[in-house]
Structure 1
Amino acid sequence: MEMHEYLDALSGQIRSGRARQAVREELEAHIRDQDQAYADSGMEEQEALEQAVRQMGDPVEVGIDMDRIHRPRNGWKYLGIIAALSAAGLLAQYICIYRFGGDTLTGNSVGIQAFYRQCAYTLTGLAVMAGLYFCDYSLLSRYAKPAGALFIAVTAVVCMPG
């Protein structure tokens, strides 16, 4: 594999744009240093470069490791905005449907239970979203096809009875 192909594959795994370029430059310098050391020991120039690139390892695995080290910062404001919009949606639902809705829902226990159930669903959704937001989903890239097939299968099984 050529050095630039290797670096392209590796840097494609790094999510942080700022870290991507710095890691690429540092690894290129390391490859060139190793290439020079091999050339000084008597290897041909092309063979020395190929050996230096090969010695770096699998570009996807190295890129995933570099991504773990240089993770992008999480935007807390987005989670706050989502939580605020969810709370506003619950408030609007409570006011419009359960409080001032039709005679069947106004003030009775069935309507309040439905609202509490909706609150639980919303909080569960927010918790799952926050968990996914903070998890390191780069591990999923190694098993993307099986994970996608599993997701489709589980969705099909869950939706079949409905």
Structure 2
Amino acid sequence: MDGLAQVLLAFMEQGGEVLWLIAALLFVMWTLIFERVWYLKFAWKQDATKVIAKWEGRAERKSWEAKQIRSMLLSQSSMQINQFMPMIKAMVALCPLLGLLGTVWGMIEVFNVMAVTGGGDAKSMAEGVQKATIPTMAGMVAALSGVFANTYVTRIAQREGKLLWDNLTTDH
């Protein structure tokens, strides 16, 4: 194992079991964020072109039926654009909660050491405090990174939805 992997593994051990949960959640959250960024930057252009072509292929676009079809196309496109966004938001909210779970877990360890040793083993108590603070920090950092990424992806999604709405004209 190289030096970086050893340092990372030592950090994960210092943070306790909850840190592994935060790492797994962070991996899934960022996988979904990268998927949305990739989709909106590359694949969405083709999907939007298909929707616009379908709308432009209509002979008339002013009737009630045409407006309903336009509404359906926009709704389906909105679902495509925002596919994993609620899940990403939920994961962002879960990160600090898992951090707090790590805090409780570490403090239970501190109280256990105090009960067993009568409070005389400062090194063991410090390890418990460390296991309490590292997951809290990790949960907050994970949540902050997710908030910034989610804001970025949400803005792109809103912009693309607005552009599609503007392109589905009802001029004839």
TM-score normalised to structure 2 length = 0.34
* Greater fraction of residues in helix: 2
Task: Report which structure shows greater RCO (CA 8 Å, sep ≥6).
Answer: 2
Larger radius of gyration: 1
